[in-house]
């Protein structure tokens, strides 16, 4: 079966920035995909092509759109689309650069995702079933993931002085995904009450990923609020906490600036203190993307405490960087973001590589999201058991929860 038409347009993401939407057609059947976009992007990510002109403050993506409509469409129309690997390899070679900078990773990923969706549609399969086939997972390994809900937003996603980017809750004690979603939403609402009580109504405004963004300055304040909310909601012991520091954002000249400047060694010690004090199960990007020594040091300690150290900017979902991190024991978990690497096939390879090394894999949204729910299907297909989808608030985040609630009805087990 061959692609009969490929078409891209510029649409908007959750921050009101332009992004690429791609339609892949087989006769009268159309499948679409929209590309997400990060704010605290890692420096080794595949290149998101933006026009840099005056439209949308330099952020329009008309060049990437044009690459789909001309260069890519010219070659891909007439190509067999049931072979995702061949399509993705072709896109990679058509671009020819290491960071997909010529056509733009946003152009390439939009096509890659739309083609996968078209294949699933034509085969009358749910997307997660098709992605599972691509990953070689097998239906018995499909799992509903634990949602990691970012309920306090800081760093680049909020306007407070909180340097740490994300404080998440993870309902590990739920029995079903529906229960997990309920636990997240209830705790989120209890937290809203606590935030209002302590910091006033304006503090309940939300950040980019739907979490609250009160004027906090230390991680301890955020962790105390969340711990209190979990307890008040009645989920003590059943909801754990996760952090994404996104530390590359507050690192400069060898120092990490939180409430004061920390040397890398001081920050290692600080993290260990926090891990001992609070029920934290995972810590993402605790150091700058190039501070590999500190990653290795903390990972060795955290392993004994059964805390997962997750690499996001460190790994950028790139199989080469993941392999290097496995060899050097830099972390024990992969944050998988499809747009960091730019094709569905490479994202699946990245996940499999990490899983083979015994790491955990957490599929992730970006801070700039859309109504596209591709990542929900991907998490179920990989059977990885973890997904980061923001707070249960705002439709760009909620649509992932809702897609998972629908998939759950296919009797997929939780975790
Ligand atoms: P980003 O944030 O999408 O802005 O990069 C998400 C994350 O760091 O995990
Ligand atoms: Zn991150």
DSSP secondary structure string for all residues of 2-26: B--EEEEEEEE-TTS-EEEEEEEEE
Average pLDDT for the chain: 97
Record the pTM: 0.98
Statement to judge: residues 287 and 327 lie in one domain: yes
β-pairing, 240-244 vs 166-170, is: antiparallel
Q: Tell me, yes or no, whether 384 lies in a domain.
A: yes
Q: Tell me, yes or no, whether 415 lies in a domain.
A: no
Q: Tell me, yes or no, whether 133 lies in a domain.
A: no
For a mutational test of ligand 1's pocket, the pick from 36, 38, 287, 312, i.e. the residue with the most ligand atoms closer than 8 A to its C-beta, is 38
Contacts of 63 (CB under 8 A, 6+ apart): 49, 50, 51, 104
Span 244-302, pLDDT tens digits: 999 999 999 999 999 999 999 999 999 999 999 999 999 999 999 999 999 999 999 99
Residue 348 has pLDDT above 90, yes or no: yes
Beta bridge partners of 5: 25
Q: Tell me, yes or no, whether 200 lies in a domain.
A: yes
Point out the ligand 1 atom lying closest to the alpha carbon of residue 313. 8
β-pairing, 333-336 vs 308-311, is: parallel
Statement to judge: residues 151 and 108 lie in one domain: no
Statement to judge: residues 91 and 143 lie in one domain: no
pLDDT of residue 386: 98
Q: Which of 21, 166, 209, 346 is catalytic?
A: 209
pLDDT of residue 217: 85
- In terms of C-beta density within 10 A (0-12 exposed, 13-18 middle, 19 or more buried), how is residue 316 classed? buried
What is the distance in A from the centroid of ligand 2 to the CA of 2?
Answer: 37
Task: Write down which residue in 124, 152, 187 finishes a domain.
Answer: 124
Q: 139 an active-site residue?
A: no
Q: How many other CB atoms are there within 10 angstroms of residue 146's CB atom? A: 26
pLDDT of residue 181: 98
What is the distance in A from the centroid of ligand 2 to the CA of 409?
Answer: 30
Span 31-57, pLDDT tens digits: 999 999 999 999 999 999 999 999 999
Domain holding 94, by residue range, is 5-124
User: Alpha helices, DSSP H only, in 262-373?
Assistant: 264-277, 292-304, 319-327, 338-341, 344-356
DSSP conformation class of 344: H
β-pairing, 308-311 vs 280-284, is: parallel
Q: 192 an active-site residue?
A: no
Round to whole Å and give the CA distance between 364 and 316.
11
């Amino acid at each position: 079966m061959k692609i009969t038409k490929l078409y891209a347009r510029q649409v908007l993401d959750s921050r009101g920035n332009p992004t690429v939407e791609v339609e892949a057609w087989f006769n009268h059947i159309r499948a679409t995909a929209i590309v997400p976009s990060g704010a605290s992007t890692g420096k080794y990510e595949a290149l998101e092509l933006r026009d840099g002109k005056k439209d949308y403050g330099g952020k329009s993506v008309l060049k990437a759109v044009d690459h789909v409509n001309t260069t890519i469409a010219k070659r891909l129309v007439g190509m067999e689309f049931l072979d995702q690997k061949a399509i993705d390899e072709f896109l990679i070679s058509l671009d020819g650069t290491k960071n997909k900078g010529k056509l733009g990773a946003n152009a390439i990923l939009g096509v890659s995702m739309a083609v996968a969706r078209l294949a699933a549609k034509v085969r009358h399969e749910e997307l997660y079933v098709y992605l599972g086939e691509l990953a070689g997972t097998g239906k018995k390994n499909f799992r509903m993931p634990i949602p990691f809900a970012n309920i306090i937003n800081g760093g680049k996603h909020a306007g407070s002085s909180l340097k740490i980017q994300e404080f998440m809750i993870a309902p590990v004690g739920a029995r079903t995904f529906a229960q997990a979603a309920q636990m997240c939403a209830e705790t989120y609402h209890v937290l809203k009450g606590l935030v209002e009580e302590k910091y006033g109504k304006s503090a309940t405004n939300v950040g980019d990923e739907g979490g609250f963004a009160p004027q906090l300055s230390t991680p301890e304040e955020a962790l105390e609020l969340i711990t209190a909310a979990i307890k008040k909601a009645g989920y003590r012991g059943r909801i754990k906490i996760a952090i994404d520091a996104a530390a590359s954002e507050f690192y400069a000249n060898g120092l990490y600036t939180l409430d004061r400047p920390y040397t890398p060694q001081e920050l290692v010690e600080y993290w260990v203190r926090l891990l001992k004090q609070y029920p934290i199960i995972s810590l993402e990007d605790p150091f700058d993307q190039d501070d590999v020594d500190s990653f290795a040091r903390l990972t060795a300690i955290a392993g004994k405490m059964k805390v997962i150290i997750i690499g996001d900017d460190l790994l950028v979902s790139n199989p080469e960087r993941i392999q290097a991190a496995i060899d050097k024991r830099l972390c024990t978990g992969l944050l998988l973001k499809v747009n960091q690497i730019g094709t569905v096939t490479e994202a699946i390879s990245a996940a499999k590589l990490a899983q083979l090394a015994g790491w955990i894999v957490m599929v992730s949204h970006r801070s700039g999201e859309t109504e596209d729910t591709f990542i929900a299907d991907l998490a179920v297909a990989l059977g990885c058991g973890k997904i980061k989808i923001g707070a249960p608030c705002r439709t760009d985040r909620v649509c992932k929860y809702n897609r998972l609630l629908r998939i759950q009805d296919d009797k997929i087990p939780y975790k």
